[in-house]
Amino acid sequence: MTKAERLEAEIKRTELMKEFDREYKIYGTICGIDEAGRGPLCGPVVAAAVILPDEYNILYINDSKKLSETKREEVYKEIDKYAVAYGVGIVSPERIDEINILQATYEAMRTAIHKLSVTPDILLNDAVTIPMVDIKQVPIIKGDAKSQSIAAASIVAKVTRDHLMEEYDKLYPEYGFAKHKGYGTAAHIKAIKEYGPCPIHRRTFIKNFI
């Protein structure tokens, strides 16, 4: 496939994701919601709420897991530049241990919504319904692969969390956070057993390793 053909294919894919969102335009302003960091052994859970522009196509918005780190960073910068509004919610590992990861994820999502400079009329969520939110919600299974708004939120959440873990790596270099971002890799588990937990480890997640 030539470069021109790849670009044409990406334009078509983007249009399909935008078309999915357009079905909900009858409600008004659409906001996509997604999170990053439910599974890692350490660090915060991060949620993002993103309202995309109607008049500008941001190419390569996709489920963040389907993009390389380089491409995620590129698309994140485009979202940061052209989004109508976006908000980010961050909940600490201490809070995760206190209220459990699901409730912490909901808390991060509510914070992200509250940080929006524009109030949306409908939330498209990746597979969840967020408690204590008055705005109409639609939970969409595998939404980050279907909805452009949810995919954009997945990118913002993932890149934000990755940046945080890279900063934590500078504080606790022995754990390799910059590489595995806190997920339970063999190297990470070995480091926990060797050095013990650090302040950002989720105690409820690592109780079988210490």
pLDDT at residue 19 in the model? 96
| Cβ atoms of 109 and 30 closer than 8 Å | no
Q: Between the CA of residue 119 and those of 36, 39, 123, what are the distances in Å?
A: 23, 30, 10
Cα end-to-end span (Å), the chain:
51
Per-residue pLDDT, 1: 80
What is the side-by-side order of every strand in the sheet holding 45-51?
A: 85-91, 45-51, 30-36, 122-126, 136-140
Would you state the pLDDT for residue 208? 84
Structure confidence at residue 41 (pLDDT)? 98
Say what the pTM is. Answer: 0.96
Q: Taking Cα atoms as reference points, which of 148, 159, 15 lies closest to residue 77? A: 159
Helix, strand, or coil here: 75?
A: helix
**Structural domains present in the chain:** 1-193 (3.30.420.10)
Three-state DSSP class for residue 82: helix
Instruction: Say what the pLDDT of residue 130 is.
Output: 98
For the chain, residues with pLDDT lower than 50 are none
> How many residues in total does the chain contain?
210
Annotated binding site: 34-35, 126
Residues annotated within the binding site for a divalent metal cation are 34-35, 126
Q: Give pLDDT, residue 55.
A: 87
Greatest C-alpha distance within the chain: 56
Identify which of 78, 77, 73 has the alpha carbon closest to the alpha carbon of residue 53. Answer: 78
Encode pLDDT of 54-108 as tens digits: 988 899 999 999 999 999 999 999 999 999 999 999 999 999 999 999 999 999 9
